[in-house]
Chain A
Amino acid sequence: MAKRITIDPITRIEGHLRIDVEVDNNAVSNAWASCTMWRGIEKILQGRDPRDAWLFTQRFCGVCTTVHAMASVRAVEDALKIDVPANAQYIRNLILIAHALHDHIVHFYHLSALDWVDVLQIPKADPAAASKLAESLSPWTRNSRNELKTAQDRVKAVASSGQLGIFANGYWGHPAMRLSPEVSLLAFSHYVQALEYQRKALQVVGLLGSKTPHIQNLTVGGVANAIDLDSPAALGMNQLEQIRSLLAEVSRFVQEVYFVDVCAVAAMYPEWFRIGSGVRNYLAVPDLPLDSAGSAYDLPGGYIRSGDLQGVKAFKSPSDPIFRQSVTEDVIHAYYKSDKALHPWEGETEPDFTGWNGDQKYTWVKAPRFNGEPMQVGPLAQVLIGYAQGHPLTRKYASLALEKVSAIGGVQATPDMLHSTLGRHAARAIRACMLAELAQKHWQLLVDNISKGDYAVHNQPVLPSHEVQGVGTHEAPRGTLSHWVVIKDEKIKNYQAVVPSTWNASPRDRAGSHGPYEASLLHTPLARPEEPLEVLRTVHSFDPCMACACHAFDPSGRKIGVVKVL
């Protein structure tokens, strides 16, 4: 008989995601993804000035501040039909790239790596052998025996004090853990270095955005950065040079460390290229506009149905009518009132909490659908859609990744294997390499444009009195983010944010189709059902983020059960 396991919550960093799986013969036979906390933040935007919306939306979530700010100004600009000066596009693009690089590095090293790396193996490693292995994989200069020995000593010290503290919530010694001590040590040493490089990426966000975590330089119609090449107080050569050098350092880390580590881990767990696929419909929107009007983009968008790469459809821009018209949200299994799937401009957010019931309502997440179908979003969607369209930059790094995995693992890695748990990690590393390369390009575009004597950063928005609607998108680290706004009498009449984790963590819809998290877990084999590491691996590969909610530290220090076997 099937038994049900509840994991509550599943994210290492952001709470509120609960996963229920039914296990039969040591494999997942059914799954439910649910968010345990109501957001409803969109409602507080109604009646406010649309030019202020971004200040509020960037407080939705503490991890994704920048992306919500950006999608919001873009939504209002779309509604008001105003262009953004080229400088503003490039400055925004650089912020988005730096934020995404930070986010991808954190995701892999600080959120997911511990699903694959057994910390208890590290003390057994031979630092010299690990260093030799590293040098065969990458030109990175910080893989010396000494550097690795220092990292190992840190783990030994922590382990011998009996306080594995930071790692206390991992499944150590689990039979599904299989990396050699040397690879584990390398990964750990890079975990430590990653802290340094993700911080450099955030420094770029801070330099351009004037503050982090909450950037201050946005405004509907452009950015608020004063450009003056000779002034140290404004965005001038001093700051630009600092930004260039930080981006170069982060890019090297991404290409020589993060990308290589993902390929190495992937090569050692090849069966995970066959697990965790689930929904093979993919969606991404174009991003990184190249001109003021947004007529060309550096990152492609479109959609794929049922894993059919040949049948890929492209979006020319985020205002492609097919994208704008095809999104709905269904709440039949979510704690909201409404009896039909609604387009976000008509969207409602009326709570109707009934408690968890897997056959009826069981989550606060709505079910976004594209032409009525669930879609997987995120780096895998971004990479597959680019790859299918023959996008050169996507092809370049996707091919590099497949070659590297093949070489390390002695297997023949093919694009088809990307529909999987490891495919998501590989795609995130591929995307990060693409962004690292584009960082240099957009920096140069900005500098060249300023050098031509163009200092414009802002177009004045004019609010019409009649009703207008707009959508602002950003292809964020976790996937397609869209903010939908309706403006009337210079005030926000309706506002809906369809966020990446809503697409991926969505519940079943009225047709009974699972959301991507749920579908990806079906048939997953579990070595020890009471320690469902395999479930965590797949869910973490989506980089779940259910933040968008508050909560308070509980100083009583009560331990609350992590896994319940029902």
Chain B
Amino acid sequence: MKTVLIAGVGNVLLGDDAIGPYVIRLLESQYSFAEEVEVCDLGTPSLDLTHRIIGLRTLILVDAVASDDPPGTIVLCRKEDIIREGPGQRVDPHSPALAECLLAAEMLGAAPEDVLLVGVVGGSYEAGKPLSEPVRQSAELAIKAILAELSAIGLESTKQKSAIEPSTWWVDSPRTREMPLPSSRQ
């Protein structure tokens, strides 16, 4: 039973908005986690986040955030911070839904006990551009924050010896695949 979700959120096609999915690629390729931990790139799930978080013990989200701080700054938020203001209408694809989904889960009595948003302040959200350098470099800090949170709830994670370079197909193309072709019985 997966009771802890580490989810990367963001649009990989839009510059620094890819930081969430990028951190997930790093975690997947370089770490191994306790059995109850799921690591997932959720893209921009909007309201579909609700059914992903219902019944979890701990939710750790990694996402780009807007802030006056310089790009690459890590901003941490807890559940109370996120839902305090309620859902606004003036918010975008996945962000509005973050507060909304947490509130919906609260109402159902099934919200995660602990929520940590590991926000990385983005600089540029230009279509087709790779992560800006300060944001890419902040990935290590974001990972530290995630591992510290896991450790605080008693879950150990280990860095794999043969850590591989993560696949970031959206910038590495041409011709990369996330999955090989089938070998059906013909």
Contact = CB atoms under 8 A, between A and B. Distances in A.
A158 interface: yes
A68 to B, nearest CB: 11
B15 to A, nearest CB: 8
Interface stretch (A174-182, A223-231, A306-314, A391-399): A223-231
Contact of B65 (A44, A55, A554): A554
A202 interface: yes
A213 B106 contact: no
A321 interface: no
B178 interface: yes
Contacts of A51: 175
Given A15-B96, A59-B43, A166-B100, A551 B17 contact: yes
B154 interface: no
A129 interface: no
Interface stretch (B29-37, B120-128, B140-148, B157-165): B120-128
A543 to B, nearest CB: 12
Contact of B170 (A59, A61, A557): A59
Contacts of A111: 47
A343 interface: no
Interface in B142-186: 169-170, 173-186
A456 B184 contact: yes
Given A43-B127, A165-B106, A456-B184, A13 B179 contact: no
Interface string A13-49: 1111000000000000000000001011101100011
B127 A40 contact: yes
Interface stretch (A191-199, A280-288, A421-429, A514-522): A191-199
Contacts of A168: 86-87
Nearest to A57: B13
Contacts of B174: 48-49, 52
Contacts of A15: 90-93, 95-96
Interface string A44-74: 1000110110011001111101000000000
Contact of A13 (B47, B127, B177, B181): B47
A556 interface: yes
A106 interface: yes
Contacts of A559: 85, 88
Nearest to B126: A40
A456, A458, A549, most chain B CB atoms within 10 A: A549
B48 interface: yes
A550 B98 CA distance: 14
A555 B98 CA distance: 11
Contacts of B14: 41, 549-550
Secondary structure of the A contact surface, majority rule: loop
Contacts of A217: 179
A44 B171 CA distance: 10
B11 A59 contact: yes
Contacts of A554: 65-67, 91, 95
A9 interface: yes
A213 B81 CA distance: 27
Nearest to B54: A195
A552 B41 CA distance: 16
A10 B91 CA distance: 10
B127 A195 contact: no
Contacts of A566: none
Interface string A529-558: 000000000000000000101111111111
A56 B128 CA distance: 10
Interface in B107-125: 107-109, 117, 119, 122, 125
A251 interface: no
A455 B107 contact: no
Contacts of B91: 15, 551, 553-554
A522 B164 CA distance: 58
Contact of B95 (A43, A458, A552): A552
B181 A49 contact: no
Given A165-B107, A547-B93, A555 B65 contact: yes
A458 B117 contact: no
24 contacts: A9-B89, A10-B89, A14-B46, A44-B127, A44-B128, A49-B174, A52-B176, A62-B93, A62-B94, A195-B104, A202-B51, A224-B182, A227-B184, A228-B184, A456-B186, A547-B93, A550-B11, A551-B125, A552-B66, A553-B63, A555-B65, A555-B66, A557-B84, A562-B90
Interface of B: 10-15, 17, 41-48, 50-51, 54, 63-67, 75, 77, 81-98, 100, 103-104, 106-109, 117, 119, 122, 125, 127-128, 169-170, 173-186
Given A63-B93, A195-B50, 13 more contacts: A14-B93, A55-B170, A61-B44, A61-B93, A62-B44, A62-B94, A111-B47, A199-B51, A456-B184, A549-B93, A551-B66, A552-B125, A560-B90
The 6 A-B residue pairs with the shortest CB-CB distance, nearest first, are A62-B44, A551-B92, A44-B128, A550-B17, A15-B92, A166-B103
